[in-house]
Structure 1
Amino acid sequence: MDGKKLFLLIILLVIYLSLGSVMFRMLEGSAETDRQHSLDAYLIRFLANHSCVTVDELQRLLTKATEDSVLVHFALQNETRVDRWDFSGAFAFAVSVVTTIGYGNMAPYTLSGKAATVGYALIGIPITLILLNALGEKLAAVFAKINKLKLCSKSRPSINKSINMLLIVLFGVMLMFVAPGFIFTIVEEWNFLETLYFCFITLSTIGFGDYIIGKNQCCPEKDVYTILAYVWILFGLAYLALVIKYITDVLLKKASKVVNQRHFKRMEVSLILT
C-alpha cells in the first residue's frame, strides 16, 4: 500500500471513529447520566436512613463489593457459593484467552495465575490463529464450490455469483447466529435480539462481557454445554473472519478504483495542458 492510500485510510478511520463517538454518545450518554442520578439519590436515601454508616465506610464497602461483585451476590442471598473456576468456568476462561475475546468477567487473582495466563496466551494464541486459518481455508473452499454453482443457468454469471453469495451469507447467518440464538434464548434466558448481539460481539472478538455463556447455574450438563458453545465460537470466528475479509477486499477494491480514477483524470488534464 502506497503512502497516499495509507493516508486516505487513516483519514477514513479517524472520520469513522469520530462518527461512532458521536453516535454512541447520543445513544448512551443520557442513559448513563440518568443511572448516575438514580444511584446518587439511592445513596443519599441510604445514608439518611442509616445514620450509623459514614460515607467513608460506605465507600469502602462499595469498593470491596465492586472488586468481588459475583461473590457478593451469593453472600447477600445466603446461597451456596458457585465455584467459578470449575472445569467449565476454567475452560471458558482459557478459550477467552487464546481467542483474545477477553470478556472481562473472569480474571486471575493470584500472581502465579497472572504469570501463567501470560505464558499460556503466548503459546495458545498462535496455535488458535493457525487453527482458525485452517478452518477458514476449509470454509473458503466450500464457499468457492457454492459460488461456482449455476442455480440460474439462464442468468448472467454476475447474477449467478450474486445469488450464490446471498446463499452463502444466509447459510452462515442461520448456522452461526440464528440456530445458536434459539439455544441461548432457552438456556441463558435472553431475548432473541440479545442473543444476536452476543453472537456478533463474541465472534468479532469485541467481547464486552455484558453477556456471558454459562451464567445460568441451573443449566443441566453445564460442562458439556459450555464446551459445545466454545466449539461453536471457534467455527464462528473463522466464518466471521471470512465475511470481514470479503468486506475488506470489496472496500479496498473500491478505494483503489477511486484513487486510480483520480490518477487517470490528473494524467488527462496534464496531457491536455501540454
Structure 2
Amino acid sequence: MAGSGLFDWRGSWTLSLLLAYLCYLLLGAAIFQLLEKQAEAQSRNQFQMEKLRFLENYTCLDQYALERFVQVIMEAWEKGVNPTGNSTNPSNWDFSNSFFFAGMVVTTIGYGNLSPSTEAGQIFCIFYALFGIPLNVVFLNHLGTGLRSHLATMDTWGHQPRHNQVVQTLGLALFLTVGTFLLLILPPMVFSHVEGWSYGEGFYFAFITLSTIGFGDYVVGTDPDKHYISVYRSLAAVWIILGLAWLALVLPLGPMILHQLMYLWPLNKDPNHRPSPHSTPTKSTIATPSPDKP
C-alpha cells in the first residue's frame, strides 16, 4: 500500500506541475498578445499605406509587379541576403560567418536569419548537428561537473572554521561577480557601440542568445552599412560558447546556495535539529534493562 500511496503522491504532483506549466503558458500568451498585437496591427497598416503610396507615385507599376518584387525581397532575406545596400556586401559564408553559424548549430540557438540553401549543405547540417549537439552538451556538463567537484566542500560549509567560510563565500562572490560582468554586463556595451543599439537592446540580445532562445530579431554583424572587423562574428561565437559554459558552471550553484540559506534560516533554531555529540541523551534514548534479565 505504501507504493500505491507514493504513486498517488507522484501523480498528484505531476498533475499540479502540469497545471502550473499550462497556466504559465496561458499567462505568457495573454501578456504577449496584450503588449504586441496592437503594435503589429499598426505596422501592418503602415506597410499597406506605404505600398499604396508607392503605387500612386510610380504608376508604371501595377499591384502584381509590386507583390512579386516584395516576394523576391522576402526570399532573399530568408536565404540570408540583406536586401539593403548593394551586391558588394560581405558574404554570409566567409570563414568568420561560417564559424559563427557552426556555433549557432551546435548550441541549438539557431537565429533563423541564415540557413544552408543547397541540398548538400542541408544534409551536412543534419549530420553536423547530430554529432555536434551531443558534443556541446557533454562539454558543458563536464564543466558543470568539474565545478561541483571543486566546490564539494560547500556541502560542509556550516561545519568549517569561520575563516574558511569567509574565504569560500568571498571566492564564490568573486566568481559570480567577474563572470556576470565579463559575460553579461560588458558584452552588451560592446554590441551597443558596434551595432548602434541601445544598451537595453544589447542586453536583450545577450540574454536571448545565452538562453538559446535565439529569435533572430537582433543578430550581430548583419548591418550592410557597417564595416566590421573580419573576426567580429567569430569573437561573438566564442563569447556565446564561453557564456553557455559559464552558465553551466553557475547553475549547479543554485542548490548549494539554497542549502546554505536553509542552514542560516533564522527559524532553524531547534536545539534538537543539530544535536551535539556531547549532548545528554534523552529519556527515550536511555537503554533500560530487560525485566527477564538480572
In structure 2, what is the Cα distance between the partners aligned to 1:54 and 1:248? 64
Distance 1:149 1:164 in 2: 16
Could you tell me which amino acid in structure 2 is paired with residue 219 of structure 1?
A: Y
In 2 relative to 1, CA 11–196 (structure 1 residues): closer, same or farther, beyond 3 Å? same
The answer to whether residue 128 in structure 2 is matched with residue 131 in structure 1 is no
2:235 corresponds to? 228
Counterpart position of 1:13: 21
Correspondence 1:8-157 to 2 at 5 A: 8-69=16-77, 71=81, 73-74=83-84, 77-78=85-86, 80-141=88-149, 148=157, 153=162
In 1, Cα distance between equivalents of 2:221 and 2:123: 26
Q: Offset at 1:112? A: 1.1
* CA deviation map 1:126-167 (0-9, x unaligned): 1111111112223445666689599x959xx8x999988766
Q: Residues 143 and 168 of structure 1 are in contact (CA less than 8 Å); yes or no, is this contact kept in structure 2?
A: no
Deviations 1:219-258 (A, max 9, x none): 23x22x333322221221133345556669999xxxxxxx
Bigger drift between 116-125 and 61-70 goes to 61-70
Q: What SS does the aligned partner of 2:81 have?
A: helix
- Between the aligned partners of 1:249 and 1:23, the Cα distance in structure 2 is 34
Matched residues in 1 for 2:16 and 2:227: separation? 52
Return the alpha-carbon distance in structure 1 between the equivalents of residues 99 and 122 of structure 2.
16
Q: 1:72 to 1:241 in 2, by over 3 A?
A: closer
Q: Any conservation in 1 of the 2:210–2:240 contact (CA below 8 Å)? A: yes
8 A Cα contact 2:55 2:62, kept in partner: yes
Contact preservation (8 Å) 1:91, 1:227: yes
Taking structure 1 as reference, are residues 205 and 78 closer, same or farther at Cα in structure 2, changes over 3 Å only? closer
**Identity of paired residues, percent?**
37
Structure whose residues are more often helix by fraction:
1
Closer/same/farther in 2, CA of residues 30 and 245 from structure 1, 3 Å limit: farther
In the comparison of the two structures, how many residue pairs are matched? Answer: 243
Structure 2 stretches of 5 or more lacking a match?
A: 1-6, 259-294
Of 181, 186, 193 in structure 2, the residue corresponding to residue 179 of structure 1 is 186
Hey, what's the Cα distance between the residues in 2 that align with 1:193 and 1:18? 26
Q: Give 1:73's aligned amino acid.
A: P
Does the CA contact (< 8 Å) of 1:182 and 1:192 recur in 2?
Answer: yes
For the structure 1 residues 20 and 46, does the alpha-carbon distance in structure 2 shift closer, same or farther, using more than 3 Å as the test? same
